[in-house]
Chains A and B, each alone.
Chain A
Amino acid sequence: MSALLVLAGVALCMASGLPSLATRRASAATTVIIVAGGLTGLIGAVLGLTGGPTELSLPWHIPGGAVAIRIDALSAFFAAPVFLLAAAGGLYADRYWPAARTRAGYVRAFFGIMTGALALLMCAANTILFLAAWEIVAVSSFFLIATEHEQAVSRSAAWIYVAASHVATLALFAIVALLHAVTHNWAFVPLPHGTGALPIGHALLGLAFVAFGIKAGLMPFHIWLPGAHAAAPSHVSAVMSGVAIKMGVYGLVRVLSLFDAVPSAFGTTLLLAGIASSILGVAFALAQHDLKRLLAYHSIENIGIIVTGLGIGVLAQAHGQPFLALLGYAGALLHVWNHGLFKALLFLSAGAAIHGAHTREIDRMGGLARRMPWTAAAFLIGAVAITGLPPLNGFVSEWLLYVAGFTSITRTPHGGPVLLLVLVVPALALTGALALACFVKAFGAVFLGTPRSAAAADAHEVPFAMRVAMVPLILGCAAIGLVPALFAPLLSSAVHAAAPRLMTTVTLTALLQPIQMPALIVMAAGIAAVLILLAATRRAAPALTWDCGYAAPTARMQYTASSAARGLVGFFAWAMPPVIHAPQPFPLFPSAAAFESHVPDTVLDRVLLPVLRRARWVLSFARYFQHGRMQIYLVYLGVTLVVLLAWSAQ
């Protein structure tokens, strides 16, 4: 039943763009179809999460096997947020990108295809279908990033995305070939006992790290992510950031679940890469001036937190610490849901703010909370959640990882590799404090204070449909934060699908139960205190802001987001040196001068692009062999095959 519903959801999502492509007047039909598809699929995924695994095989054979989907707890767990965000994003797009706007059909069609293929990928029963869905997502994402392709920034973001995606796909081809070589099966079946210790197991894990690391945006493979998420329309960014990068996490978890024992060195790699990604991701986010780039760098941070959790799980399982492994996997998987909810909420509300203020520059917004109160409240909830503060959902998943770090220090004897897990605590503390600074800065500069531009001053609240699309996300953030034990059984079945050999005596329900009471108290007491204070100051006299005696403070006197972050960005100058264009020392009669500073991406702008520019000269020799004539390529193929045949015949 659940497989049928999921397949129906996938089909509806993928087909949702057709009416819009046919005629502009049918765009409402697209919205109805994608919302229906999302909800159908969501029901199917939830059924799959509560029931046992179900399989559905279509009588349609592609080379290598049937088109078959298999819904186990892991697939259902990853597919559920995809369907939720497809519905929310589709509803949001109805007014965000109205039918009258250019390329409305184009955006709707590729959005439907991308979300449908994403869900299909999470549920694919064999590697060939997985690969096909993977490429459909990549191609439709490319077209969505390039939506505004008359702008050079969008084109360059789209090309960088394609280049990075090609590298990931190349590694994925190798993974699929290696899996088949070991298991002689195109389906995802467990690897033979002890594969993790063999060279082929190491090769599989290394390739998985690269292929899925690129897709997930893990540092240092994140180069495509900030540009792509900034260039795409906001509801697309919400899906790309909320669930599309999770296809990397899903792939990694799926491949790990096939091993009977993953070597502990791989756990260490994941842990360290996750920690680096989370700290540097938030540091880069602090330095951004573009609201959507800021959110994109926070995706790198949150992927870092998820991968840290997986690293804890693998490392602890390799050293026979099932309780720690449970905490690690549970924290990582719950953060997959949580990040999907609050990041989508943030992108949708940021899109509304950009819609209102007609700019993505944080330092040109301001004062939007008085003009767009609903959007401001939605962004604030998302910001509190992503910062990992109680009583919302981000706290619960980070709490699980903190408990893993603290438990490791109480349990382990002197030394030992499990002690590496202690690093999680200071790393999460630093990440959390920096994320708080970043979101206070962003929320304050965008929504509070006075407007910094005429457009921001004229902003108005977005249409009802766009606000409704954010409601389920808000409810999700609140529910997981306030009553996490309710979700513990679902999480538990996903954890056991991700790590089938994990045996624990502790249940997640018992673990999460005690957080609920304090969370509910802080929620109730906080709201009560605000309401009492609002009532007490109802008759307050209005006045100007106190600005040290200035009678007429202007918006230009406000602290900017860049200044607020300057101190913290300075601490990370070793990793991300800023580019500053400051005015030269003034002559006797100074003319107009301007100050500008930005922080380029260290990996892309300072390492990769310069190196590739140098490499162009060397690579130009390859042009002798590659000149675009198909018949010559076929000759190459034929010659290679003959040589290989002769070699193997010996």
Chain B
Amino acid sequence: MTAVLQLLVVVLTAPLLLGVITRTKSLVAGRSGPPLLQAYYDLGKLLRKDSVLSSTTTWVFLAGPAVAVVAPLLASLLLPLAGPRAPLAFTGDLILFVYLFALSRFFTTAAALDTGSAFEGMGVARELTFAALAEPALFFGLLALARISGSLSLSSLLTVDGASWHRASAALVLIIASWFIVLLAENSRVPFDDPNTHLELTMIHEVMVLDHSGPAFGLILYGSALKLFVFSALIADVVLPRTGISLADAAATLGAVLVIGVVVGLVESSMARLRLVRVPQLLIAASLVAGFAVVLVLR
């Protein structure tokens, strides 16, 4: 039952997060902006459209969007979003969680290379480089949380109780800060990438999907909404207390995720994109911050 509820929340509300970010940015800029549900309209339109395929591509080109939807969806089933235990929880599921995103990265970057385009290759090089630097940050955070909770399953690792907050508050704050930077980098948000930019030379994620169209592009849009939702839910889980009532927990998760969306919107409104050479430095800083958290809990 909770599994169905959780899956419904993720599947149905993920695109809303994109709307919240856009609305926040519009309000800060003093515009009214597109409707909150714009991402749903876009998805509906894209799924109904015909597509154009580059004649150099193979089936790998379509495997990218397909895996980009399947992987975050499965990853969401490892998170305890509605109730104390995630639908697919097991000891050691935290490694699977991270590796599902790696699987999605493998296929999205391979799909981009399938076009033989100079620009998409450039995006692939950047994506792979930055992801290699972001991955240790995620793992350092998980290590610190494993130490705090004494567990190897996301279901108990992410439900941080009051005593743990009291005991390891500094480490938890560092983890949240580091993971928020990883969230921005992994989901191609400002200051790492600008989803609104239209200059191929400066883009990372958007430049990899230049050739996708129609339903394939719709899946990419939906996949990135899911990924952003899952990363936000990961951070929300650390912060939120658990009531044990699945409906209340699901509502709280959704609320917290949308708040994170507002924060992302505020970050995007208040700063510009970093120069590409600065990006690795910020990511290494995020790894070091999470590394400090590990040192703190080992003390």
Contact = CB atoms under 8 A, between A and B. Distances in A.
Interface centre among B60, B125, B140, B149 (most CB of A within 10 A): B125
A564 B90 contact: no
B210 A537 contact: no
A521 B74 contact: yes
Interface in A516-564: 517-518, 521-522, 525-526, 529-530, 532-534, 536-537, 539-548, 553, 555, 557-560, 563-564
Interface residues of B, number: 82
A440 B109 contact: yes
Contact of B92 (A402, A409, A559): A402
Contacts of B124: 440, 444, 559, 564
A586 to B, nearest CB: 23
A406 B139 CA distance: 10
Interface stretch (B7-15, B46-54, B162-170): B46-54
A429 B294 CA distance: 15
Q: Is the interface of B mostly helix, strand, loop or mixed?
A: helix
B106 A436 contact: yes
A422 B88 contact: no
Contact of B117 (A369, A439, A539, A553): A553
A433 interface: yes
A518 B95 CA distance: 12
B116 A558 contact: yes
Interface residues of A, number: 83
A555 B116 contact: yes
A567 B56 CA distance: 27
A112 to B, nearest CB: 37
A520 to B, nearest CB: 11
Q: Is the interface of A mostly helix, strand, loop or mixed?
A: helix
Contacts of B32: none
Nearest to A527: B66
B53 A384 contact: no
A450 interface: yes
Interface string A362-377: 0000110110010010
A514 interface: yes
A511 B152 CA distance: 12
Given A434-B132, A448-B116, A553-B117, A515 B56 contact: no
B122 interface: yes
Interface string B108-142: 01100111111111101110110110011011101
B70 A529 contact: yes
Interface stretch (A67-75, A253-261, A387-395): A387-395
A546 B211 contact: yes
A542 B132 contact: no
A426 B53 contact: no
Nearest to A400: B92
Contact of B55 (A398, A534, A537, A544): A544
A52 to B, nearest CB: 32
A542 B57 CA distance: 10
B57 to A, nearest CB: 8
Interface stretch (B37-45, B213-221, B230-238, B256-264): B213-221
A410 B106 contact: no
B298 A389 contact: no
A367 B214 contact: no
B279 to A, nearest CB: 10
Interface stretch (B97-105, B174-182, B266-274): B97-105
A419 B103 CA distance: 29
Interface string B79-98: 00000000010111111101
Contacts of A337: none
A430 B136 contact: yes
B225 interface: no
A526 B66 CA distance: 7
Interface of B: 50-60, 62-63, 65-67, 69-71, 73-74, 77-78, 88, 90-96, 98-100, 102-103, 105-106, 109-110, 113-122, 124-126, 128-129, 131-132, 135-136, 138-140, 142-143, 146-147, 149-152, 200, 210-211, 214-216, 219, 280, 291, 294, 298-299
Given A389-B99, A543-B55, A568-B129, 16 more contacts: A369-B114, A403-B95, A403-B152, A409-B147, A410-B149, A429-B138, A443-B113, A445-B113, A449-B113, A529-B69, A533-B216, A534-B59, A537-B216, A545-B56, A546-B54, A563-B121
Among all A-B residue pairs, the 6 with the closest Cβ atoms: A559-B121, A444-B113, A449-B116, A514-B90, A529-B66, A433-B132
29 contacts: A369-B58, A369-B60, A370-B58, A387-B102, A399-B92, A406-B92, A414-B299, A422-B143, A426-B291, A430-B135, A437-B132, A439-B106, A440-B124, A444-B114, A448-B58, A518-B74, A522-B103, A525-B74, A526-B70, A530-B59, A533-B66, A537-B215, A540-B214, A545-B116, A548-B119, A558-B116, A558-B117, A559-B122, A568-B132
